[in-house]
Amino acid sequence: MTSQAIQTQGLTRRFGATTAVDHLSLTVETGEIFGFLGHNGAGKTTTVRLLNGVLGADGGDIRVLGLDPAADGPKLRARTGVLTETPSLDERLSAVDNLTIYADLYAVPTGEVNGRVNGILETFGLAERGREKVGGYSKGMKQRLALARAFLHQPDLLFLDEPTAGLDPVATQEVHDMILHVSREEGRTVFLCTHNLVEAQRLCHRVAVMEQGQMVAVGTPRELAHTIGADMRFTLEIAPDQVETARAAVIPLAAVSAVETTDAELTLTVNDREAVPDLLAALQAAHVRVYAVIPQQTSLEDIYMALHRRKGQA
C-alpha cells in the first residue's frame, strides 16, 4: 500500500490555445486534507477531472490510489467520491431515492443499502425530510445531499470541488464538520478545491496554489508564509503602565517594522525571526515585565495575495 493517494508528474491538459493544466507535479499523502486553491480558470476543476479519469491528459503521468485513471477509470471511481461544481440531483425524486439509485450504481451490497442511506441522511441532518422531493430543498440541503452522495460508497479518496460555494455560515460550518469527521474519524483523504481561504486555513493540512494551470506554491500554511518571506507578527502581554516604556524600547530596533498598542498589549511586526530575542532583551533592559509572547499566524489570505502579486511581477 502506497502512502501517496495522488501523484502526478508533468500533468498537462490543453483546450485549444489554453493550457488548463501545465506540467503539474503534485503529491497528496494518504489521510490528508489537501487544499487546491486558485482564481477562476486556474485549472482546479480540470485537474479533478483528470485525476478521476473523466478527462484524458495531453501529457504527464498520474497515479491515484495506485491506479492509472486513464486505464483503470471504473476501478478507481469505485474508490473515489466526487462532489462536482454543479452536482446533478434528480429533483423529482426524494433524497432517499436519489441515494438508493446511486448506491446501486456504485455497487453498495443490496443488504446494506437501506442502512447506509438512512445512516448518511442522519449524519447529514436530512433524515426528517429524506422522503420529500429534492426539488423543494433549499440550496444548502441540496449541497448536503450531494455531499452525502459523494460519501455514500465510503470512498478512500474524496474530491470536493467548492463544497461550500453559496452556503450560509451555518451550512458551511456543518459541511466543514463533516469533512473533518471523514478525515479524522475515518482516515479518508480529501482533495478540496476552494476559493475560500478561511476554509482552507481551517481544514487543510497542506495547500497548493494554482495560477494559469501552474502550481506556484505548495506546503503547509506555515511553510508558505516562510516561502513568501512573510513578516512575523506577535503580541506581547505587559502591564498597562508599561506600554509606553515598552514602545519606546522597541521602536529604535531596525527589525521592527510596525508597533501597535492596546492598554496591556504590544503587537509587533518584525522582518526577521532573529529579532525576537533582541527585542526581549531590549524590553528586559528597560525593566518591562513581559507576561506572554503570542505569535500571530500569517493568514492564508495574506499568503495567497502575496503569491498572486509576486506572480504578477514575474
How far is the C-alpha of 214 from the C-alpha of 227, rounded, in Å?
17
Least distance from ligand ATP to the Cβ atom of residue 196, Å: 11
Least distance from ligand ATP to the Cβ atom of residue 151, Å: 22
Least distance from Mg ion to the Cβ atom of residue 168, Å: 21
Least distance from ligand ATP to the Cβ atom of residue 191, Å: 13
How far is the C-alpha of 191 from the C-alpha of 24, rounded, in Å?
15
Least distance from ligand ATP to the Cβ atom of residue 25, Å: 17
Residue 140 CB: number of other CB atoms within 10 A? 18
Answer with the entry of ligand ATP, Mg ion, none that 183 interacts with (C-beta below 5 to 8 A by kind): none
Indicate the residue among 41 and 60 with the shorter CB distance to Mg ion: 41
Task: Name the residue number minimizing CB distance to Mg ion.
Answer: 45
How far is the C-alpha of 121 from the C-alpha of 145, rounded, in Å?
8
**Could you say whether residue 172 binds Mg ion (CB under 5 A)?**
no
Taking the CA atoms of residue 44, residue 49, residue 55 and residue 57 in that order, the dihedral angle to the nearest 10 degrees is: 50
Q: Are strands 80-83 and 214-219 parallel, antiparallel or unpaired?
A: unpaired
Chain positions contacting ligand ATP, by CB under 6 A: 15, 18, 20, 38, 40-46, 85
Indicate the residue among 50 and 99 with the shorter CB distance to ligand ATP: 50
| Helices assigned H by DSSP within 73-196 | 73-77, 95-105, 110-123, 139-151, 169-184
Answer with the entry of Mg ion, ligand ATP, none that 35 interacts with (C-beta below 5 to 8 A by kind): none
Instruction: Write b or e for each residue in 233-267: b if 16 or more Cβ atoms lie within 10 A of its Cβ, otherwise e.
Output: bbbbebeeebbeebbebbeebebbeeeeeeeebbe
Indicate the residue among 20 and 306 with the shorter CB distance to ligand ATP: 20
**Could you say whether residue 45 binds Mg ion (CB under 5 A)?**
yes
Answer with the entry of Mg ion, ligand ATP, none that 238 interacts with (C-beta below 5 to 8 A by kind): none
**Could you say whether residue 196 binds Mg ion (CB under 5 A)?**
no
**Could you say whether residue 98 binds Mg ion (CB under 5 A)?**
no
CB distance 267 to 259 below 8 Å: yes
Indicate the residue among 46 and 183 with the shorter CB distance to ligand ATP: 46
Q: Which residue has the cell 478527462?
A: 55
**Could you say whether residue 47 binds Mg ion (CB under 5 A)?**
no
**Which positions lie near Mg ion, rule CB under 5 A?**
44-45
